[in-house]
């Protein structure tokens, strides 16, 4: 039996009012149903492109997926949509935790979640996973190699890693990484949202192998690399972009 149009309209209006009552902006465009999305059309196109670039397997039926740094849950919900059993982990702020829980409730999601730092991931704490997803996390960390070792300990199959990447004018193939003392210190020093803990692709791949992954593939390199190199030359400061890597246990 079809739901009367006025009923759908009422649910849409009520959901939008609830969404407006939540404080602060949403990071991701999450479909809450009833024609309500937390992001505008531009954000939806941008994240659709991100999904494509990540090269996430389409069918995840029967797979266990760990989403590290889940934030408001965008990728966690996408993994669930593809059939996976999902565990989302993060050290959520109260505001972002409220948004994530709101989205879980409205989507009637079965996603499990745990507040835990990436450095504390162990098989005893969270188990092991067919796919581990880590986007927008590594460059925030004071000890990124230790984090990669912890990630490897819970990865049974594939790690999908997306991170800010260092683009210097020269020596891009050398395994270099910038020093980043931590988010709070970066904000105080005016370096927030810059390259901070970015590493060259060579460093990222060498670090993944050192952490115990047997095969590493770079799926996406920073866009406009040669332009970024020219800016690095003109300013004497390495630039930053994004790269995506698939690292395999077997």
CA 53, 180, 239: angle at the middle one, nearest 5? 50
Please give the C-alpha separations between residue 7 and each of 12, 173, 231, 242, in angstroms, as whole numbers: 9, 59, 55, 44
Q: How confident is the model at residue 121 (pLDDT cuts 50, 70, 90)?
A: very high
Tell me what pLDDT residue 197 has: 78
Tell me what pLDDT residue 196 has: 62
Question: Residue 234 above 60 pLDDT?
Answer: yes
Tokens of 23: 């404080």
CA 164 to chain centre: 11
For the CA atoms of 43, 182, 89, 145, the dihedral, rounded to the nearest 10 degrees, stands at 110
Tell me what pLDDT residue 37 has: 94
> 214: phi > 0 → left, psi -120 to 50 → alpha, else beta; which?
alpha
Tokens of 188: 């105080």
For residue 211, the tally of other CB atoms under 10 A from its CB is: 21
Question: Residue 88 above 60 pLDDT?
Answer: yes
Q: What does DSSP say about strands 85-90 and 64-68: parallel, antiparallel, or unpaired?
A: parallel
- pLDDT tens across 195-213, in order? 467 899 999 999 999 999 9
Rounded distance, CA 248 to CA 246, Å?
7
Order of all β-strands in the sheet with 64-68: 112-115, 85-90, 64-68, 129-135, 155-167, 239-248, 215-220
Question: Residue 242 above 80 pLDDT?
Answer: yes
Tokens of 113: 């979640």
Q: What is the rounded average pLDDT of the residues 42-60?
A: 96
Rounded distance, CA 231 to CA 41, Å?
31
Question: Residue 191 above 80 pLDDT?
Answer: no
DSSP state at residue 122: -
For the CA atoms of 210, 211, 216, 222, the dihedral, rounded to the nearest 10 degrees, stands at -90
Contact criterion met (CB below 8 Å) for 86 and 76? yes
Mark out the alpha helices in the chain (DSSP H runs): 5-21, 41-54, 74-81, 94-107, 123-126, 144-153, 183-189, 201-211, 225-235
Question: Residue 95 above 70 pLDDT?
Answer: yes
Contact criterion met (CB below 8 Å) for 213 and 247? yes
At 61, give phi and psi (nearest 5°).
Answer: -55, 125
For residue 244, the tally of other CB atoms under 10 A from its CB is: 19
- pLDDT tens across 99-110, in order? 999 999 999 999
DSSP state at residue 120: G
- For the chain, the average pLDDT equals 91
Tell me what pLDDT residue 188 has: 62
pTM of the predicted structure, to 2 decimals: 0.91
């Amino acid at each position: 039996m079809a739901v009367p149009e006025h009923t759908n309209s009422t649910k849409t209006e009520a959901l939008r009012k609830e969404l407006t009552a939540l404080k602060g902006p949403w990071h991701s465009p999450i479909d809450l149903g009833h024609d309500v999305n937390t992001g505008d059309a531009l954000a939806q196109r941008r994240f659709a492109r991100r999904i494509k670039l990540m090269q996430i397997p389409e069918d995840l039926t029967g797979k266990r997926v760990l989403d590290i740094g889940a934030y408001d849950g965008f990728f966690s919900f996408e993994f669930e949509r593809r059939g996976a059993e999902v565990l989302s982990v993060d050290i959520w702020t109260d505001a972002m935790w409220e948004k994530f829980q709101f989205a879980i409730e409205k989507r009637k999601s079965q996603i499990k979640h745990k507040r835990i730092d990436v450095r504390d991931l162990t098989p005893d704490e969270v188990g092991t996973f067919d796919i581990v997803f880590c986007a927008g996390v590594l460059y925030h960390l004071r000890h990124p190699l230790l984090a990669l070792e912890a990630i490897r300990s819970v990865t049974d199959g594939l790690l999908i890693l997306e991170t800010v990447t260092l683009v210097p004018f020269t020596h891009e193939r050398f395994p270099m990484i910038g020093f980043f003392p931590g988010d709070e210190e970066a904000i105080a020093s005016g370096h927030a949202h810059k390259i901070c803990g970015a590493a060259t692709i060579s460093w990222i791949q060498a670090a993944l192998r050192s952490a115990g992954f047997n095969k590493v593939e770079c799926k996406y390199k920073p866009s406009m690399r040669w332009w970024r190199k020219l800016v690095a030359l003109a300013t004497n400061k390495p630039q930053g972009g994004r790269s995506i890597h698939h690292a395999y246990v077997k």
